[in-house]
Structure 1
Amino acid sequence: MIRRRRTLLISIVLLISLAPAISMFWASWFAERHDCVLHEGYVNPCIVGGKDWGETLYTAFVMGWLMMLTLPVAATILLVLTLKAAFNLIRRVIRR
């Protein structure tokens, strides 16, 4: 039970840490797919299906700056998990 909670907690932290990257990639993909101009300078209109997505795309794209804080957290978690898995593997090999 404790392992499941720990795994769930780690998954949630990783997802939150990667959310700015995901939002930035989504905004870039959406803007490119609909031939909209997207950059960090200011909001550009992007009319898709009668709705202006410009503000949403701009906000999602600028969230990429938050990656400077969250990606090191995600990288640290992944490093710790990799080291833990390596130590567990070594321990299993030694026991056999």
Structure 2
Amino acid sequence: MIKTILIYLAIFLFSIGPLLLAISAGAVGKWLGCRVDEGNAHPCNCFGRDIGGLLYACFVMGWLTLLTGPVGVLLAIGYSVWLGWG
């Protein structure tokens, strides 16, 4: 039972992981008062280091959800079918 829940949780996190990364990058950028968008990396200082490129990369990673979302749904359906047969 616990193994099944953990597998579904892993599939769920795989599916929405890039979206969570993009939301986190936007929140960190807003918290630091920086501009974060898909157009370009903007300078953003955090403890004396420029993390604008990192925030940009994490924010753009949200587009990967267009791939991982449907794959996660297929994995969940496939695992459910596998559980039903076994």
Same fold (TM over 0.5): yes
Kindly, what percent of the aligned residue pairs are identical?
Answer: 32
- Equivalent in the alignment of 1:71: 69
Q: How do 1:12-51 residues align onto structure 2 when only pairs under 5 Å count?
A: 12-51=10-49
Offset at residue 74 of structure 1 (A)? 4.5
Residue ranges of structure 1 left out of the alignment (5+ in a row): 82-96
2:64 partner amino acid: L
In 1, Cα distance between equivalents of 2:20 and 2:71: 15
More displaced stretch, 64-73 vs 50-59: 64-73
SS in 1 for 2:39: coil
TM score, norm. by length of structure 1: 0.69
C-alpha RMSD of matched pairs (Å): 2.1
Count residues with an aligned counterpart. 78
Relative contact order: is structure 1 or structure 2 higher (C-alpha 8 Å, sep ≥ 6)?
A: 2
SS in 1 for 2:33: coil
Structure 1 or 2, whichever has the larger Rg, is 1
In 2, Cα distance between equivalents of 1:30 and 1:74: 27
TM score, norm. by length of structure 2: 0.77
